[in-house]
A and B are shown apart, each in its own frame.
Chain A
Amino acid sequence: MENVLRTHKITKYFYDPEKFQVLKGIDLTVNRGEFLSLVGKSGCGKSTLMYILSTMDTDYEGELEISGQRLTGKSLNELAAFRNAHIGFVFQFHYLLPEFTALQNIMIPALKLARYSRAEVEARAYAKLEMLGIQDFARKPTNKLSGGQQQRVAIARALINDPDIIMGDEPTGNLDSYNTHMVFDIFAELTHRYKQTIIAVTHDDEFARKSDRIIEMSDGTIISN
């Protein structure tokens, strides 16, 4: 199976308040189309690992490769452009831009990428909204939407550039059980129908259990894979 993400001996230290090794030589390979949950107790380094995998954190030792590209050592601007094209994000909070409508929020990463014309981007964004069943809210400002709707808009935004990986940091952490199920179902459908790779950090055992692969971390190492 084709692998989409590979790490080699990723190690990271925190220096504040004192030197502390958060990650201890993490080797990880993620295959295309995998729905992977990253679990572990608070402070085990799972979020830290995810932010390194997402290329936003560049302060580590070891090597990171996504879609065959070695990302370790690239400049911040190169990494930003890479994230734009290859990585989608879903966070615990939706992080939608409040001044823009749902549709505009979804379009922003695609307009940034500028692979398609504005009209095409709009059509694609609309298609994503339809896929997630929230096309009725397309023209609404995002602060007028409910939590579940906002999170679905955020997922649509993560999907707009057809990323190689969707990274989720507690994507259901702020949702009630109904919406948690809904988000999980969306993720499951994305992986099974569209072969979308998803890496999600979660505290929710049920969410993790239902995913394809669970990686459990403790004290900066992977203890079960």
Chain B
Amino acid sequence: MTLVFEIAKTHLLSKPKQTIVAMLGVTFGIGMFVAMVSLMTGLNDMTENLAMTSSPDIHIYHDNTLERKSIAEEINPGGVNVVYHSKPKNETPKVRNALRMAEIIRKHPEVRGVSAQLTSQVFYNYGPIQLNGQVSGVDILEEDRLFNIQGKMKQGRMEDLIVNQDGIIMGTGLARKLKAKTGDRVVITTPQGFTMTLKIVGLFQMGIGAIDNVKSYANISTVQNILQRDKSYLTDINIKLYDFNLAKDIAPEFQKTFGYKAEDWETANATMLLGVIIRNILTYSVSITLLIVAGFGIYNILNMTIMNKMKDIAILKAMGFSGGDVKNIFMIQSLTIGLLGSVLGLAIGFLLSYLIAQAPFDGGDVLSIDHLPVNFKLKYYVVGILFGVATTAVAGYLPSRKAAKLDPIEIIRGQ
């Protein structure tokens, strides 16, 4: 076997240019793969992280857009009941016994935190500016346990909300649009026409425009006051689990127990997760294309080498090298090209990822990031080298097998 290695080595070294060109093909493919996969998974992780930090694992609410049975159905079950143009029932989004439900849910072994709250669409008025948005009445300490509000405060202190009954903590994007600062008073108008003036006691930033630009937090009782509702009026229960991957399994359980819509984060963030899937498809299709091109390069070069080395192959076989030995000679060459090319590719990939990670990137209103997120995970480097070696093994196998099957007499006699 060492002899076979030696011959393979001599072949590679005797045509250094050809060897390097073949190697660079793999290097380029793997380098791009590593760089792309690092950036794409970095983006994926970041979006997933943002989604996880700002949206609950399970969200329980009263979904009054659900199809409901008409009254005709109730009186005449099983009959042919047709109701034309039925109007939606005048229902409040109230979740009954929300606090009691929250207590029951809190006892579930997988649940890390529960926050019962009420949310309403509102208009924010500050001077001449009027903006559409949303206000959540929360127990801020509970909410903090779920979403780490403390860590996301940009101005003011979270605890100020507890002592200020008419206080409000506003998203930074919303405050910027209103041109309001901490300490300013904004007027809030509900869809029902009630208004109230609240004082901004702090600003928070989740990092997603969809939240920072519309949302603010106030005390539960304050929001109940604005809406002119009673003390039991709550509209949402947000739940965080220890393992967010279980949300999909646990949500239906809650929905069945409580009779309210329980939505898991994957369903709520379906569009975002679609983005993740599309990025993955892109990454792998581009990388695989690059590798296939590199593979064809190797296939070509090896084919040419074998064409040039027909005489050598014939004499080796005459002298007693088996087909397997000849195949090994060329497989070793192709795998060496693949291995060295891949290792070099990993280095290039790392360098590219490093450069990408340095490049400044303004996420604008949508995402609060200043650099592109890049993953430096060993996993992708291992996948990269496996990909590289596998491609070259396939690309090398076909010509090598041809060399192995070569009939020496044809070549020796053909001279």
Q: Which residues of A contact B (CB under 8 A)?
A: 47, 51, 54, 56-57, 76-77, 80-85, 89, 91-93, 95-100, 108-109, 111-113, 157, 169
Contacts and interface: CB of A to CB of B under 8 A. Distances in A.
Interface string B318-329: 111111110000
B315 A95 contact: yes
Nearest to A75: B322
A94 B320 CA distance: 16
B415 interface: yes
Nearest to A113: B320
A112 B318 contact: no
A51 B322 contact: no
Contacts of A81: 320, 322
Contact of A57 (B14, B315, B316, B409): B409
Contacts of A91: 315, 412, 415
Interface in B371-415: 408-409, 412-413, 415
A100 B320 CA distance: 18
Contact of B14 (A82, A99, A157): A99
Nearest to A95: B315
Nearest to B13: A99
B286 to A, nearest CB: 38
16 contacts: A47-B413, A51-B413, A56-B318, A76-B322, A77-B323, A80-B320, A80-B321, A80-B322, A89-B318, A91-B412, A91-B415, A97-B7, A99-B10, A108-B7, A109-B320, A112-B321
B317 interface: yes
Contacts of B14: 99
Contacts of A109: 319-320
A83 B322 contact: no
Nearest to A57: B409
Task: List the 3 closest pairs (A to B, CB-CB), nearest first.
Answer: A84-B320, A95-B315, A99-B14
A101 B414 CA distance: 26
Contacts of B408: 56
A57 to B, nearest CB: 6
Contacts of B317: 56, 80
A83 B318 contact: yes
A83 B408 CA distance: 13
Contact of A99 (B11, B314, B315, B316): B11
Interface string B275-316: 000000000000000000000000000000000000110111
Interface in B247-279: none
A169 B412 contact: yes
Contacts of B320: 80-85, 109, 112-113
A108 B3 contact: yes
Nearest to B413: A47
B409 A95 contact: no
Given A56-B317, A57-B409, A108-B3, 15 more contacts: A77-B322, A80-B317, A80-B320, A81-B320, A81-B322, A84-B319, A85-B320, A93-B311, A97-B10, A98-B312, A99-B10, A100-B10, A108-B316, A108-B319, A109-B319
A77 B320 CA distance: 8
Interface residues on B, range: 20 to 34
A56 B314 CA distance: 10
Contacts of B10: 97, 99-100
Contacts of A47: 413
B313 to A, nearest CB: 10
A89 B315 CA distance: 9
B413 A97 contact: no
A47 B413 CA distance: 8
Max chain B Cβ within 10 angstroms of own Cβ: one of A56, A81, A169:
A56
Contacts of A54: 318
A76 B318 contact: no
A82 B322 CA distance: 10
Nearest to B3: A111
Contacts of A111: 2-3
A77 B404 CA distance: 11
A165 B98 CA distance: 99
Of the listed residues A47, A77, A85, A97, the one surrounded by the most CB atoms of chain B closer than 10 A to its CB is A97
B319 A97 contact: no
A113 B314 CA distance: 18
Interface in B1-54: 2-3, 7, 10-11, 14
B319 A89 contact: yes
Contact of B319 (A51, A57, A112, A169): A112
Given A80-B320, A108-B3, A97 B409 contact: no
Contacts of A92: 415
A112 B312 contact: no
B411 to A, nearest CB: 9
Given A77-B324, A84-B319, A89-B318, A95 B311 contact: yes
A100 B315 CA distance: 14
A121 B315 CA distance: 19
A89 B311 CA distance: 14
A112 B3 contact: yes
A108 to B, nearest CB: 7
A97 B315 contact: yes
A10 B10 CA distance: 41
Contacts of B412: 91, 95, 169
A169 B324 CA distance: 26
A98 B318 CA distance: 17
A100 B316 CA distance: 13
Contacts of A98: 312
Contacts of B316: 97, 108
Given A111-B3, A112-B321, A95 B314 contact: yes
A97 B3 CA distance: 14
